């Protein structure tokens, strides 16, 4: 504390509610991370009892992020990434994967969670050639996100827009589609949309999600594959299209099983 005022870190800590489970912290728990509280572990264990596949889904989602970012930075040559709904850092985060492929990559993370803000310093690492930065902003305000990101990213050059497991937190489906459209509209030609979200295709998952939502935590809406597909309208899908994440360009020699989280990569012409 300087001059009687809380530091940004202290201010972020004061906003962390440890009495209600939080999706970013539970996801961190399922991924084997340490940035969670007892209330998150209890909620995570309760969810897993009803839907035992959830940890597999969490790890499959991270594997999907690694493969998509590697592909977008490598084969597609994209050097700018706007990752909205960052969550808590675990392993192989976007900047690490992208800069492993192309050290000059520029990554902007966006989140408005106070615990993520506290860990922003851990995220703000970069190769000397590249840039990694963090914006404290709300997905409900896409224009503000683009305005802030444009101070770091060049929107005259292609950008990979990443919405990984975050759109379910937008309760109204029409609003979720509107947010996606507005973000995509800001992207120049040659940009890519990289996305996944959990689906409503498994009864156990739906039951577990309802139990989680009933705790008072910020709900997550499971949507149909058809609803998820609508996020890609007007874009050109990269093969194999919108699929269960483990089936998106799996590592050679592996035989992944599908799970209830779907995503894809698509080009904006």
DSSP 78-146: --EEEEES-----SS-HHHHHHHH-TT-EEEEEE--HHHHHTHHHH----TTSEEEEEE--TT-HHHHH
Distances (CA, A) of 114 to 12, 36, 141: 5, 13, 17
| pLDDT value of residue 15 | 62
| pLDDT value of residue 11 | 55
| pLDDT value of residue 86 | 82
| pLDDT value of residue 248 | 98
Distance CA 160, CA 19 (A): 36
Say if residues 106 and 127 touch (Cβ distance below 8 Å). no
DSSP-derived pairing of the beta strands 192-198 and 236-237? unpaired
DSSP-derived pairing of the beta strands 192-198 and 160-164? parallel
Residues in the chain predicted with pLDDT less than 50, given as ranges, are 1-8, 12
**Model-level pTM?**
0.89
């Amino acid at each position: 504390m300087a001059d009687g005022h809380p530091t940004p870190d202290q201010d972020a800590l004061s906003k962390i509610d440890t009495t209600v489970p939080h999706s970013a912290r539970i996801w961190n728990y399922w991924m084997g991370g340490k940035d969670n509280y007892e209330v998150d572990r209890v909620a995570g264990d309760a969810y897993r009892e009803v839907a035992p596949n959830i940890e597999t889904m969490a790890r499959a989602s991270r594997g999907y992020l690694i493969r998509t970012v590697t592909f977008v930075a490598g084969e597609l040559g994209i050097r700018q990434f706007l990752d909205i709904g960052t969550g808590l850092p675990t392993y192989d985060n976007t900047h690490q994967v992208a800069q492993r492929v192309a050290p000059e990559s520029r990554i902007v993370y966006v989140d408005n969670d106070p615990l993520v803000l506290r860990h922003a310093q851990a995220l703000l690492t970069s190769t000397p050639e590249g840039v990694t930065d963090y914006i404290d902003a709300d997905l409900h305000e896409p224009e503000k996100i683009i305005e802030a990101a444009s101070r770091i990213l060049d929107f005259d050059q292609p950008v990979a827009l990443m919405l990984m497991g975050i759109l379910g937190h937008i309760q109204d489906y029409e609003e979720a589609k509107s947010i996606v459209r507005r973000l995509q509209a800001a992207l120049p030609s040659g940009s890519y949309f990289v996305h996944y979200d959990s689906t409503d295709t498994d009864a156990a998952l739906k039951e577990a999600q309802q139990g989680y939502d009933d705790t008072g935590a910020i709900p997550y809406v499971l949507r149909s594959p058809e609803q998820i597909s609508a996020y890609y309208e007007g874009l050109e899908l990269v093969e194999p299209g919108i699929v269960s994440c483990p089936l998106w360009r799996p590592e050679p020699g592996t035989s992944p099983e599908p799970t209830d989280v779907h995503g894809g990569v698509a080009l904006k012409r």
